[in-house]
Amino acid sequence: MQGIKVMKTRILVVEDDSSISELVCMNLEAAGYEPLPFMDGLVTERFLKEVCISDRVSAKTEVPALALVDVMLPGKDGFELMEDFQKAQIPVIYLTAKDDVLSKVHGLKTGAEDYIVKPFEVLELLVRMEKVLKRTGRSRKVIQVKDVTIDLAEHSVSKGGERVALKPLEYELLVTLAGSRNVAFSREELLNRIWGTDYVGETRTVDVHIGQLRKKLGFHKVIRTISKTGYRLEDLDE
Amino acid sequence: MKLWVKLALTTVLVLLAATLSSGAAVLYQALLYNQEKTMESGHQQLSSTAYALARELQNGPFKGYSEATKNSYINYTMKKFGISKYVLIEDGEILCNRTPFDLADAGDERWQQEEGSGIIQKRGEQYILIEGQRVPTSDGSSYALVLVQDISELYQDMKRQTVLGLWILAGAAAIAMLLIFLTTKRILRPLRELQKAATDISEGVLTRRANVYTKDEIGIVAQAFNRMADKIESQVTELSRVSEQRRQMLGSLTHELKTPMTSIIGYSDTLLHVNVKKEQQQRALWHIKEECSRLERLSSKLMNLMGLYENDSISMEEIPMEELFAHVAQMEKYHLEKMGMTLTCTCSMGKRQVDRDLMESLLINLIDNGAKASKAGDEIFLVGEGNKITVRDGGCGIPEDEIGRVTEAFYMVDKARSRKAGGCGLGLALCEMIARLHGAGLEIKSKAGEGTEVSVVFSR
């Protein structure tokens, strides 16, 4: 599998505030997604119509796997755009400052997959996106980090074409870190996500498994310890 | 007790007392009059009988008669004058008594008077008139004639009349009472309406008015009441309008704060936890700084708006508008030149009572808005004539359905564009506030694509 460029998952970002749009795009990019920003409701609508018309197989551009949509948009608001998203079969997560329950209910009733209230944390956004992608069957099949390829379908990891044997928990840890690459996880978060909330263990356990991963994959520099936080798998596109 | 009952009862009682006492007085007077009449007629009868009797008894026609003969003669004589109501007395001795009564005091001095005098005596249920006088004989004999008459009839009549009078009075009183009750109730009915209206208003039906159209005191009270209700209604409406406006403003404010907050929190979170490229780190820092200064601008504009709400700091003075325009033009000159625009001022207004700083900031705000909508090479006009100052531009204009909302705090027609130009959606809200403090209003005319015309119209 070495040398094959894994295609990134495309995410539609519909947000009219340039600063927030750039913030979301910056983080999606770092986490290994390909953000596609839109600032205006009407422009988004036109794009979605094109997606519908074009033949999915022969389309040059990949159809976005998910859309992060602000509710208050110029031209056509997020709720009104829902129909277009459904026609284009793109799941929607609303991203909005409107945190009253009614609009939340309205958002979810019309068919949104999730609802994130501003201000939000980067990790929260990524985790929720991942969950929606998984639920809608759009998760990545393969994750590529440096020369390491993770085959999510087969649960196998290979480095430079050579298969690397990982214990189940080590594999889970690698998938978690690589799934939101460049984002720091705290030890507690990793414990919760991989060992489960019921697990009564010490955060040392995480350190031990990280050590194993580093040794087996030669990731001493790739998995970095972030002081006062935890660990981060670093892989930036140059 | 209800007011109408009180009023009616008092009236009825007073009326009854008055009729009763006057009725009693009238009856008593009638009784006295009748008594007098009876006595008088008795007196006349007595004196004429006494006179006639005197002629009979004169010169002792029965001198030398036996006692029995004398008695029967006298009886005969008395009988001749008829009517069994006289007692004849000689020297204190009863000579003949044709009445069914016994005269106790036959020797009384009173019966010896020339002029008759009498009394009315009450015996049980009977009233008896006793009147006597000397029989005016000229031969020195001392006969006295006493009239004893039962006049109970007179009193029974009076009694019957009193009873009848009382019945009539009672009937009249009952009718009067009914009428008084009904009329009082009717007169006081508007009070109930007034009370109902007051209750309704206190329960929150502020549009309720008292439907009382009488011209009496109650009508006057109702009018005053309705005026009060008008005032309360308008004040409550005004209050809720202001609080609604404040609520909306607070809502917009929190939303307005959320956007920069989201950016600041998001970017700092990114810098702390996410491994991004060097130049992205720079962008993140730049965004944080930029959003912070947006918050700073927002807070100072808000402070301005709050300051205007507390309007103590306003000093109105008579200022030649031409001078004010020149000052504004000078302040805007550099700013507009940089964007390649020109400002044309024409002023035909005289002096006006304004606060210099506030009016200048209003005009600068309007000119800046015009500049934001225009492009390089455009011209902006500042025109003052009559009671109207107008700022006109040939820029992008405002869509028709949004004109009404542009003076709302935090409202922005084109958010993305406005933010880029450093706006926070408070400018026109501020302008309208300043205009209102000058007793003026904002008039906005605009056509999308053709330009906008904002006028400050003074009411005088």
Flag if B259 and A97 touch (Cβ within 8 Å): yes
Distance CA B270, CA B70 (A): 162
Query: Buried b / exposed e across A43-73, counting CB within 10 Å, b at 16+?
Result: ebbebbeebeeeeeeeeeeeebbbbbbbbbb
pTM metric for this prediction: 0.57
* Over residues B428-446, mean pLDDT: 82
Flag if A122 and B287 touch (Cβ within 8 Å): no
B454, two tokens? 């904002």
* Over residues A151-173, mean pLDDT: 88
Pairing between strand B388-393 and B86-90?
A: unpaired
pLDDT at B284: 92
Q: Which residues pair with B320 in a beta bridge?
A: B351
* Over residues A222-236, mean pLDDT: 87
Distance CA B272, CA B404 (A): 44
Contact residues on chain B for A31, CB-CB shorter than 8 A: 274
* Over residues B84-102, mean pLDDT: 77
| pLDDT band for position A106 (cuts 50, 70, 90) | confident
* Over residues B373-390, mean pLDDT: 86
C-alpha pair distances (Å), B233 with each of A124, B199, B242: 51, 15, 14
What's CA B264's distance to the chain center, in Å?
63
pLDDT at B421: 59
- Residue of chain A with shortest Cα separation from B420: A18
CA distance A83 to chain B (A): 24
Higher pLDDT, B260 or A171: A171
pLDDT at B424: 62
pLDDT of A66 over the 80 cut = yes
Half-sphere exposure of A184 (CA within 13 A, CB side): 17
Flag if B287 and A97 touch (Cβ within 8 Å): no
pLDDT of A182 over the 60 cut = yes
Higher pLDDT, B459 or B306: B459
Respond yes or no on whether ipTM tops 0.90.
no
Flag if A26 and B259 touch (Cβ within 8 Å): no
Residue B257 sits at the chain A interface (C-beta within 8 Å): no
| Option in B255, B258, B287 nearest A22 (CB) | B287
Flag if A97 and B262 touch (Cβ within 8 Å): yes
A219, two tokens? 């990731």
| pLDDT band for position A36 (cuts 50, 70, 90) | very high
Contact residues on chain B for A229, CB-CB shorter than 8 A: 272-273
| pLDDT band for position B80 (cuts 50, 70, 90) | confident
Residue B424 sits at the chain A interface (C-beta within 8 Å): no
Residue A20 sits at the chain B interface (C-beta within 8 Å): yes
| Option in A27, A119, A183 nearest B261 (CB) | A119
Residue A149 sits at the chain B interface (C-beta within 8 Å): no
Flag if A183 and B273 touch (Cβ within 8 Å): yes
B410: three-class secondary structure by DSSP: coil
Distance CA A110, CA A114 (A): 11
pLDDT at A61: 57
pLDDT of A5 over the 60 cut = no
pLDDT at B309: 63
Contact residues on chain A for B255, CB-CB shorter than 8 A: 97-98
- Percent of chain B with pLDDT strictly greater than 70: 91
In this structure, chain A runs to a length of: 238
A22, two tokens? 């750039």
Flag if B270 and A23 touch (Cβ within 8 Å): yes
Candidates A14, A15, A19, A125: best to mutate against B (most CBs of B within 10 A) is A19
Q: Quick check: B131 and B46 in contact, CB under 8 A? A: yes
Contact residues on chain A for B416, CB-CB shorter than 8 A: 16-18, 39-40, 74
- Residue of chain B with shortest Cα separation from A234: B275
Closest C-alpha to B185, from B442, B312, B2: B2
Closest C-alpha to A118, from A135, A103, A134, A96: A96
- Residue of chain A with shortest Cα separation from B266: A121
pLDDT per residue as tens digits for the range B187-211: 888 888 888 999 998 898 888 888 8
Query: Which range among A218-227, B47-56, B139-148 has the greatest average pLDDT?
Result: A218-227
State which amino acid sits at residue A28: L
DSSP code string of A158-212: EETTEEE---HHHHHHHHHHHHTTTB-EEHHHHIIIII-TT----THHHHHHHHH
pLDDT at B420: 57
pLDDT per residue as tens digits for the range B382-434: 888 888 888 888 888 888 777 777 777 666 666 655 655 556 667 787 788 78
Higher pLDDT, A231 or B334: A231
B316, two tokens? 């109105």
Kindly report the number of other CB atoms within 10 A of residue B445's CB atom: 14
pLDDT of B267 over the 90 cut = yes
| pLDDT band for position B311 (cuts 50, 70, 90) | low
Flag if A184 and B284 touch (Cβ within 8 Å): no
Contact residues on chain B for A234, CB-CB shorter than 8 A: 275
Q: What is the mean pLDDT of chain B?
A: 82
End-to-end Cα spacing for chain B = 58
Q: Quick check: B397 and B452 in contact, CB under 8 A? A: yes
- Percent of chain A with pLDDT strictly greater than 90: 18
pLDDT of A68 over the 90 cut = yes
pLDDT of A57 over the 60 cut = no
* Over residues A169-196, mean pLDDT: 88
Residue A116 sits at the chain B interface (C-beta within 8 Å): no
* Over residues B326-345, mean pLDDT: 85
| pLDDT band for position B230 (cuts 50, 70, 90) | very high
Residue A43 sits at the chain B interface (C-beta within 8 Å): no
Flag if A74 and B416 touch (Cβ within 8 Å): yes
pLDDT at B416: 55
| pLDDT band for position B35 (cuts 50, 70, 90) | confident
Rg of chain A, C-alpha, whole Å:
19
pLDDT at B412: 67
Distance CA B91, CA B89 (A): 6
Q: Quick check: B81 and B54 in contact, CB under 8 A? A: no
Residue B247 sits at the chain A interface (C-beta within 8 Å): no
Residue B269 sits at the chain A interface (C-beta within 8 Å): yes
User: Between A and B, how many CB-CB pairs are < 8 A?
Assistant: 95
Contact residues on chain B for A24, CB-CB shorter than 8 A: 266
Flag if B269 and A121 touch (Cβ within 8 Å): yes
Q: Which of A157-161, B262-266, B370-374, B400-404 has the lowest mean pLDDT?
A: B400-404
* Over residues B41-57, mean pLDDT: 82
Residue B246 sits at the chain A interface (C-beta within 8 Å): no
Distance CA B355, CA B433 (A): 13
pLDDT at A238: 58
In this structure, chain B runs to a length of: 460
Candidates B275, B281, B285: best to mutate against A (most CBs of A within 10 A) is B275
Q: Quick check: B269 and A122 in contact, CB under 8 A? A: yes
Q: What is the mean pLDDT of chain A?
A: 84
Flag if B262 and A121 touch (Cβ within 8 Å): no
Closest C-alpha to A157, from A184, A132, A177: A177
* Over residues B212-220, mean pLDDT: 86
pLDDT of A92 over the 90 cut = yes
pLDDT at B414: 64
Kindly report the number of other CB atoms within 10 A of residue B217's CB atom: 9
pLDDT at A4: 47
Residue B400 sits at the chain A interface (C-beta within 8 Å): no
Distance CA B85, CA A70 (A): 131
Flag if B263 and A122 touch (Cβ within 8 Å): no
Sheet of A114-117, strands arranged across: A33-38, A9-14, A66-69, A92-96, A114-117
Flag if A30 and B283 touch (Cβ within 8 Å): no
Q: Which of A46-55, A202-211, B373-382 has the lowest mean pLDDT?
A: A46-55
C-alpha pair distances (Å), B443 with each of B81, B87, B410: 123, 122, 19
pLDDT at B339: 84
B382: three-class secondary structure by DSSP: strand
Flag if A74 and B414 touch (Cβ within 8 Å): yes
Q: Quick check: B258 and A97 in contact, CB under 8 A? A: yes
Flag if B270 and A19 touch (Cβ within 8 Å): no
Residue B420 sits at the chain A interface (C-beta within 8 Å): yes
Contact residues on chain A for B259, CB-CB shorter than 8 A: 17, 19-20, 97, 118
Flag if A226 and B273 touch (Cβ within 8 Å): yes
Closest C-alpha to B385, from B342, B345, B341, B444: B345
Question: Cis omega (within 30 of 0) on the bond before B260?
Answer: no
Flag if A184 and B263 touch (Cβ within 8 Å): no
Q: Quick check: B54 and B135 in contact, CB under 8 A? A: yes
